[in-house]
Amino acid sequence: MTCRESGTKEVGHLVNTILTDYESGRDIDTLTPFNQPDKEAIRTIIQKLLRIVFPGYYRDQVYKSYSLQGNLTVLIEDVLYNLSKQIGIVLKYDAPENTDPVKMEEQAYCLALTFCNKIPHVRDLVDTDLTASYNGDPAAYNKDDIILSYPGLLATTINRLAHELFLLNVPLIPRMMTEYAHSATGIDIHPGATIGRYFFIDHGTGVVIGSTTQIGDHVKVYQGVTLGALSTAAGQALHGVKRHPTIEDNVTIYSGASILGGKTVIGKNSVIGSNAFITASVPEGTRVTIKNQELVMKGKDGQLIDTGDFEQDEAWFYVI
């Protein structure tokens, strides 16, 4: 008997074995797929929201209307219907078992409608982010270049949308939205983070911004920056506690810097150099640098090479 023939006979046994395994009572054994939000539906909603935020930049061949009003009407109705459906699912997590499903459906629709009414506010903030991105990056060809290709603006836009749902106390969906942005851009921003106007993430890969982070206006962040917690050893006991830093206005944080702790405040107009590790507050107007690193160079013969011509000045920490 060939392996393929044997495998065909074994499929039934394998199915029964796995079905039995599903009965183990573990958290991963949940068999109610329609009681959880749909990841693909959330991603589709995000794409439609991006078309609303950036009209003309994100196209959909499904919509054949050449009228902007008609196209937008279809988009809004689509988002309202599908978002309220997903919100209705996640509201069940916190609702008592005897909650009237009709009332829950109405609540979900009201939350979706309230969120959609926040879109003009989000667009206003995104426009400031676009301006900051263009003014802050001499490599930008034009603003179209930024909208269509910069991961920082994409991640920030999705985060601003998710943040509005977070403020409405909608479970799960905001985090699913920002994790989609994380997977697409490498930028991990919790939807609970509060971010001011004119925010610019340059390059972006590896940026992590925690849930209780507060960021002021005109803040610029480079790749690999972490705005995190000092410790999460206490686990769920820290839920809701301010454990991430506050970054005040006009602060620049260069690549690889880590700023940790809920009591840590980076004062206005400060510059944090690359690879700095900060766990205490920094006064306004401070420039934080790392002491020059020592270069050691050896030739093929193993002899030390004079590094005098390679001396690093203080500017080395501005790594972009």
Residue 42 sits in the same domain as residue 164 = yes
Whether residue 152 lies inside any domain: the answer is yes
Look at residue 2 and tell me if it is in a domain. no
Are 153 and 234 within one domain?
no
Residues 200 and 179 in one domain: no
User: How high is the pLDDT of residue 28?
Assistant: 75
Q: Compute the average pLDDT of residues 67-81.
A: 88
Asked whether residue 107 falls in the same domain as residue 149, the answer is yes
Q: What is the pLDDT of residue 239?
A: 75
pLDDT reading at 308 higher than 60: yes
Residue 300: what pLDDT? 84
- Residues 280 and 239 reside in one and the same domain: yes
Could you tell me if 177 and 248 lie in one domain? no
The answer to whether position 22 is within a domain reads no
Q: State how far Cα 296 lies from the chain centre.
A: 39
Task: Let me know whether 83 and 158 are in one domain.
Answer: yes
**Could you tell me which residue, 255 or 233, shows the higher pLDDT?**
255
| pLDDT tens figures, 82-111 | 999 999 999 988 777 778 889 999 999 999
Q: What is the pLDDT of residue 85?
A: 96
Q: Which of 46, 87, 10 is nearest to 181 (CA)?
A: 46
Question: Quick check: 264 pLDDT over 60?
Answer: yes
Range of the domain at 275: 193-320
Both 89 and 166 in one domain: the answer is yes
Average pLDDT over residues 238-264: 94
Mean pLDDT score of the chain: 88
| Per-residue three-class SS string for the chain | CCHHHHHHHHHHHHHHHHHHHHHHCCHHHCCCHHHCCCHHHHHHHHHHHHHHHCCCCCCCCCCCCCCHHHHHHHHHHHHHHHHHHHHHHHHHHCCCCCCCHHHHHHHHHHHHHHHHCCHHHHHHHHHHHHHHHHHHCCCCCCHHHHHHHCHHHHHHHHHHHHHHHHHCCCCCHHHHHHHHHHHHHCCEECCCCEECCCCEECCCCCCEECCCCEECCCCEECCCCEEECCCCCCHHHHCCCCCCCEECCCCEECCCCEEECCCCEECCCCEECCCCEECCCECCCCEECCCCCCCCCECCCCCECCCHHHCCCHHHHCCC
pTM: 0.85
**Pair (159, 72) in one structural domain:** yes
174 CB-near residues (< 8 Å, 6+ apart): 162, 163, 165, 166, 191, 192
pLDDT at 319: 52
pLDDT band of 125, cuts 50, 70, 90: very high
Task: Note whether residue 9 is domain-resident.
Answer: no
Asked whether the predicted pLDDT for residue 65 surpasses 60, the reply is no
- pLDDT of residue 5 exceeding 80: no
Same domain, 273 and 125: no
What's the pLDDT at 205?
A: 95
pLDDT at 133: 97
Q: What total of structural domains would you count in the chain?
A: 2
Q: What would the mean pLDDT of 219-227 be, rounded to a whole number?
A: 98
Nearest to 252 by CA among 236, 235, 267, 230: 267
Residues of the chain above pLDDT 70, percent? 87
Question: Does residue 172 sit in the same domain as residue 277?
Answer: no
The residue with greater pLDDT, 235 or 47, is 47
